[in-house]
Each structure stands twice: as structure tokens, then as C-alpha cells.
Amino acid sequence: MVTISVCVGSACHIKGSYNVLNVFQQMIEEYNISDRVELKAVFCLGHCTESVSVMVDDDKIFSVSGTTARSFFQNEIIPKI
């Protein structure tokens, strides 16, 4: 199970965290992997000056935007499944 945590705190919300969440949800449905990916919203991951903060498996934190969310998912999440 891959866990994706997307920050929805104030700074990330303004930068489009809900767009990133929506793209990830669409990708999960598109690849039919809802049984292997947990997508959750969290508050502040401590990288407020960057794009939307996304943490994968309580490990590494990435900066993702609505325009990079699809490629991020394909490059970082799909290989882990």
C-alpha cells in the first residue's frame, strides 16, 4: 500500500492543493489502483514556501502543482505499486 499525503494547510490550499488531490484521485481511478493507494489530506508538512507539499509513505516530501501532478503520479507513485 502506497500512502500519499497532500497538505491542505493555508499556504498549500492557496497554491492549489485541492487540484492536486483531484488529479491524484482521477489517476487512482484511471489506473484502477484504489486497493493499493491511500490518498489523504493532511495539515502542514513544513514546506510552506514551495508548491503543494506531498509526502509519499511518510518518507520524502515533494513539491507538486496542478500542472505537474499527473507526471508526478506516473513517475513517483506508479513505480511503487
Instruction: Give residue 36's pLDDT.
Output: 97
**In the beta sheet, which residues pair with residue 5?**
40, 55
Write out the CATH class of domain 2-80. alpha beta
Instruction: Give residue 59's pLDDT.
Output: 87
Instruction: Give residue 9's pLDDT.
Output: 95
Report the sign of the C-alpha dihedral through residues 34, 40, 45, 49, in that order: positive
Instruction: Give residue 75's pLDDT.
Output: 97
3-class secondary structure per residue, 37-66: EEEEEECCCCCCCCCEEEEECCCEEEEECC
- pTM for the model stands at 0.94
Instruction: Give residue 58's pLDDT.
Output: 86
Low pLDDT (below 70) residues in the chain? none
pLDDT tens-digit readout, 62-71: 999 999 999 9
